[in-house]
Amino acid sequence: MKDASNMPPHTRQMQNDPRQDAKKISGPAQGVFSKITDDIKALNSSILIISQKINFLVRNEKILSRNLIVINKKVKEAQEGRQQGISDSSSGSARELSEINLRLSEFSEKIARLESEIENIRQNYAKSEQVSEIKYVMDSINPLEFATIKDLQEATGSSSKKGKK
């Protein structure tokens, strides 16, 4: 067997095999002892898995740190390049900004006109609910069935003419 002092604690094996000692122990105690041995083996394998995961985490952390260093360098280069470009194109940028401001003011005026027209429409025109109410009233009254003034004059005029004759 290997020297137990050089191995990590989770990989050390017991010097004496518990099954050899189990011959000296009674039957019920052997069952308990074998369960404890199985639990220790399960814990040992869990510890091995955890140590592997820790190794992967350490490796990934190293990779990420290298990537961050590269990205930081690229960001610094981009910022330096942008600052140089800003000083070179400041006059062109000023013209572009003035054009953008001009267009923005034009759009603001158009929006203000649209808002006033919409408000005018809201105040001066009937809503669909109001129109449907008027339609309902007109349909229920049915003004075409009423007599006109001419009809009334003819009706009253003919009876008054009959009375005068």
Do 66 and 100 lie in one domain? The reply is no
Do 29 and 66 lie in one domain? The reply is yes
**Contact in structure between 12 and 48 (CB atoms under 8 Å):** no
- Tell me the average pLDDT across 91-105: 85
Residue 136 has φ and ψ, to the nearest 5°, of -65, -45
Q: Which residue has the higher pLDDT, 85 or 27?
A: 27
Residue 163: what pLDDT?
47
Do 107 and 74 lie in one domain? The reply is no
Residue 47: what pLDDT?
92
Query: DSSP per residue over 79-146, as a string?
Result: HHHHHHHHHHTHHHHHHHHHHHHHHHHHHHHHHHHHHHHHHHHHHHS--HHHHHHHHHHHHHH-GGGS
Residue 85: what pLDDT?
65
Do 57 and 115 lie in one domain? The reply is no
Query: DSSP per residue over 22-43, as a string?
Result: HTTS-HHHHHHHHHHHHHHHHH
Number of domains in the chain: 3
Helices and strands (DSSP H and E) totals, the chain: 5, 0
Do 21 and 83 lie in one domain? The reply is yes
Residue 113: what pLDDT?
93
Residue 68: what pLDDT?
92
Do 115 and 136 lie in one domain? The reply is no
**Contact in structure between 10 and 51 (CB atoms under 8 Å):** yes
- Tell me the average pLDDT across 35-55: 91
Do 84 and 97 lie in one domain? The reply is no
Do 50 and 95 lie in one domain? The reply is no
Do 78 and 145 lie in one domain? The reply is no
Do 74 and 45 lie in one domain? The reply is yes
Residue 103: what pLDDT?
92
What's the domain range around 108? 90-125
Do 2 and 75 lie in one domain? The reply is yes
| Position 127 pLDDT exceeds 90 | no
Q: Which residue has the higher pLDDT, 157 or 22?
A: 157
Do 13 and 62 lie in one domain? The reply is yes
